[in-house]
């Protein structure tokens, strides 16, 4: 049953109104964060890089030894159907985040109240992008603060898997928010190099070259990869390397990449303003323009229009 003005969610083989999408309280994704997810977005109501996101999703599932019982092609069809059913609920100038989630479901000892629950919990859902809330970041740039909390080291749990266990990143966000509620947290790795934020990768620009943290220490974002491809197409050199705060404080420009932000300029890191005179800086603006051209949709203007 569809309920007017309520988003539709896919849950374990059924499309149901969001308020009716119920998961057992003893689901292991809720109890332990034992789950995997991935998120893409729409541009002009069209899903972007869905295959690339689902391939990363599949790698994360394999890392946690989770079997949703669905192929990438099946997830593609389900995701497209979820978006189709929910598009009437947003305006022509709005877009969606679109997310797939799989948890390990119920352990054998917790099945008594839910005997028919499948071995894995599978959810596909969407939510409107917070365009207005983020618009000023494109005009003013983002303030970045590195908290004392360090990113989990890869020999402990690989940052390359996108799992529901975000506590490490959340603790960093809480520390930064206590200092500046408008700042973005970017964690350092165990060696004091820049790593990543909750859902965002970071790039520095110095002497016309781009630097970004090595993949071993971060989630390799799809938007990160798109940005690298755009940069190479513009004739810019891109290096994956260790980047410490000395590098950050001496950079000409900096920006984050993420599914929702795409590319967003950084104004300062730990209170140190970037050297470029403009926001975005000249190379960041080239990359934004190149990203817009690649996508075929002006998401940069979409954000600025909400100021």
pLDDT single digits (tens) 63-117:
999 999 999 999 999 999 999 999 999 999 999 999 999 999 999 999 999 999 9
Is 2 a residue whose pLDDT tops 80?
Answer: no
pLDDT on residue 301: 98
Q: What is the pLDDT of residues 183-232, one digit of tens each?
A: 999 999 999 999 999 999 999 999 999 999 999 999 999 999 999 999 99
Q: What is the pLDDT of residues 24-36, one digit of tens each?
A: 999 999 999 999 9
In the 3-class helix/strand/coil scheme, how is 185-229 assigned residue by residue? ECCECCCCEECCECCEEEEEEECCEEEECCHHHCCCCHHHHHHHH
Is 170 a residue whose pLDDT tops 60?
Answer: yes
pLDDT band at 3 (very low <50, low <70, confident <90, very high): low
Return all residues near 56 (Cβ < 8 A) that are at least 6 apart: 38, 162, 220, 222
pTM for the model stands at 0.96
Q: In 3-state terms, the chain is what percent helix, strand and coil (to 5)?
A: 35, 25, 40
pLDDT on residue 140: 97
pLDDT band at 5 (very low <50, low <70, confident <90, very high): confident
Return all residues near 249 (Cβ < 8 A) that are at least 6 apart: 269, 270, 272
Q: Measuring CA to CA, how many Å separate 141 from each of 41, 61, 135, 296?
A: 22, 35, 10, 24
Is 265 a residue whose pLDDT tops 60?
Answer: yes
pLDDT on residue 226: 98
- What domains are there in the chain, each with its CATH number? 8-129 (3.30.470.10), 134-304 (3.20.10.10)
């Amino acid at each position: 049953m569809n309920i007017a003005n309520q988003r539709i969610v896919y849950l374990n083989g059924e499309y149901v109104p969001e308020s009716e999408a119920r998961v057992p309280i003893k689901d292991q994704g809720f109890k332990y964060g034992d789950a995997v997810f991935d998120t893409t977005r729409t541009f002009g109501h069209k899903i972007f890089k869905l295959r690339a996101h689902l391939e990363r999703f599949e790698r994360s599932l394999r890392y946690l030894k989770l079997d949703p019982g669905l192929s990438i092609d099946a997830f593609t069809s389900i995701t497209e159907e979820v978006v189709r059913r929910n598009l009437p609920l947003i305006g022509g100038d709005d877009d969606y985040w679109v997310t797939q989630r799989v948890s390990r479901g119920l352990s054998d000892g917790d099945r008594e109240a839910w005997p028919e629950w499948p071995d894995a919990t599978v959810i596909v859902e969407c939510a409107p992008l917070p365009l207005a809330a983020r618009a000023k970041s494109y005009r003013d740039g983002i303030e970045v603060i590195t908290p004392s909390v360090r990113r989990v080291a890869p020999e402990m749990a690989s940052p390359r898997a996108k799992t529901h266990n975000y506590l490490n990143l959340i603790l960093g966000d809480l520390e930064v928010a206590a200092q500046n509620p408008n700042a973005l947290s970017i964690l350092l790795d165990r060696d004091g190099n820049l790593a990543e934020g909750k859902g965002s990768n970071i790039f520095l620009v110095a002497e016309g070259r781009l630097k970004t943290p090595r993949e071993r220490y971060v989630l390799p974002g799809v938007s990160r990869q798109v940005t690298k491809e755009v940069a190479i197409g513009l004739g810019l050199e891109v290096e994956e390397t260790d980047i410490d705060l000395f590098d950050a404080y001496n950079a000409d420009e900096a920006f984050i990449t993420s599914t929702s932000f795409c590319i967003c300029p950084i104004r300062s890191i730990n209170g140190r303003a970037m050297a470029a005179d403009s926001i975005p800086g000249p190379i960041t603006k080239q990359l934004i323009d190149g990203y817009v051209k690649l996508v075929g949709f002006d998401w940069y203007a979409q954000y600025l229009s909400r100021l």
